[in-house]
Amino acid sequence: MNDLNFLRLIFELGGSFQNVNNIDLAIKANVSKASVSDRTQHLSKLGLVKYKKYYGSKLTKKGLNAVIPLVQQHRLLETWLYEKLDIPLSDVYDKASTLCEKPDLLLIDRLNTYLDYPQNCPHGNVIPINTPVPEFSKYDLLSNQSISTSTFKIINFTEDDNLFKILSNIDIKLGDELQILNINDYDHSMVVLNRRNNLKQILPKNITKMIRIETVLSKEKSV
Amino acid sequence: MNDLNFLRLIFELGGSFQNVNNIDLAIKANVSKASVSDRTQHLSKLGLVKYKKYYGSKLTKKGLNAVIPLVQQHRLLETWLYEKLDIPLSDVYDKASTLCEKPDLLLIDRLNTYLDYPQNCPHGNVIPINTPVPEFSKYDLLSNQSISTSTFKIINFTEDDNLFKILSNIDIKLGDELQILNINDYDHSMVVLNRRNNLKQILPKNITKMIRIETVLSKEKSV
DNA sequence: CATTTTTGTTAGGTACGGCTAACTAAGTTA
DNA sequence: TAACTTAGTTAGCCGTACCTAACAAAAATG
């Protein structure tokens, strides 16, 4: 994987506004933690990430400027694959990644014209330049919520085809509203009720960490 | 460049039916002749090309089977870039190449549906599987023709964006009919008359080698 | 047909992007 | 706070994909 695509992974883990740790990057890139350590130190020397040993990586202005067009192209390609070519949602991330070795400004421009300047990719993530990139706090993750009568609306997913394969099997979609019925102390898995189909599901922590939500106040409380 | 894409270059130089020499490959791949020599010997060990030292490379059955989907995907992407995204003809080869790291059968299938099973890419080359790949003899190249009153119709171009940039500047297109008025012994450049616009042009040998034609008998003779 | 030019090969080197194994720092918990 | 777990680093290694320079074979030419 080239440096720019590695920066894209950092971006996808929130590296534009927070430190990203090496283990998460290693999982995302599917390489060893040693490789990640080498890489982040290398990118730091190039001034593309701010990096302090043992404390993770965050994109610099320079790194962000370099990677934004690539993220944009990647998400436009996802939108194209999903909307025009009918590729299943669970496949679009990986396929867009192999198509996305480097950014091409003309291609980005024409994709935008063709797709009519979409604001979000099929996973719910914003397409940069078309839309400003929001800063999410870690409290927006489903994994950080607690039991309540409120519901949590799914506003996006971490870009990961594996996650999508699992979610499509258990019928959880972008926009669904979930209520947390129980949290298992032992492994932090959650029992959630999906308001759309009234199904109860157990979601392990590795899944809840990849779902970003916004709180919807319960009707009882808002009245 | 990965092995499969290197096989694609061999294919594009006619490697499915004739030996391809290392210098042509080196120019096409934009690497040194030493690298090409290493590569062809390596591909030979893998059984993907038939290769005899000093005599060039030809694809084996195995190599052909491996590369056909990649060629198909590449030419479908070219068609998409040209027809749907309005990317200039002179850019589609290189852009399709960077999008085409490896073949993806689902993507190929959906592109075919979307583009309605095109038979030719914008350069005039057939899209394999959609259409059988023809075997051209070297006599189909414009560079191998001689002065006559016959005209030669351009039926395809070697896949090369550089060629296309040059040809678009001098207004020579797929389907044009050329008559050879003169051939310069010294450098084998040709003076041709383009029947479509009645312009005379000098074409150097490196250009005439990249234009494949079919003979159109002159009207005088066919009467 | 001897010479020159073109084409191809070999040897040896570099940079990159990975790896494992051993070790160390930081964080967690009894 | 000592012990343990998790995360991160370092050292040293490997394969790939290139490179240049020197040499060798084949082809073209006077």
Over chain B, what is the mean pLDDT?
A: 91
Contacting residues 7-66/A vs strand D (CB within 7 A): 21-23, 33-34, 36-38, 40-41, 53-54, 56
Tell me what pLDDT residue B46 has: 96
| pLDDT of res. B204 | 84
- Beta-carbon separation of B114 and A84 below 8 A: yes
**For the segment B18-64, what is each residue's pLDDT rounded down to a tens digit?**
999 999 999 999 999 999 999 999 999 999 999 988 999 999 999 99
**pLDDT (0 to 100) of residue B186:** 75
The Cα B208–Cα A27 span in angstroms is: 52
**pLDDT for B128 beyond 90:** yes
Mean pLDDT of B141-169: 87
Q: Do A102 and B101 touch (CB under 8 A)?
A: no
Instruction: Report, in ranges, which bases of strand C sit under 7 Å from a protein C-beta.
Output: 6-12, 17-22, 25-26
DSSP string, B54-111: TS-EEE-HHHHHHHHHHHHHHHHHHHHHHHTS---HHHHHHHHHHH-SS--HHHHHHH
CB A57 within 8 A of CB A48: no
Query: Would you say B125 and B96 are in contact if contact means Cβ atoms under 8 Å apart?
Result: no
pLDDT tens profile B163-176: 888 888 889 999 99
Alpha-carbon distances of A170 from A145, A199, A200, rounded to whole Å: 21, 9, 10
* pLDDT confidence bin for B177, thresholds 50/70/90: very high
pLDDT at B145: 87
Phi, psi of B160, rounded to the nearest 5 degrees: -170, 115
Low-confidence ranges of chain A (pLDDT < 50): 221-223
What is residue B162's predicted lDDT score, i.e. its pLDDT?
Answer: 83
CA distance A27 to chain B (A): 23
Predicted confidence at residue B219, as pLDDT, reads 54
Q: CB–CB of B214/B140 below 8 Å?
A: yes
**B115: amino acid identity, one letter:** L
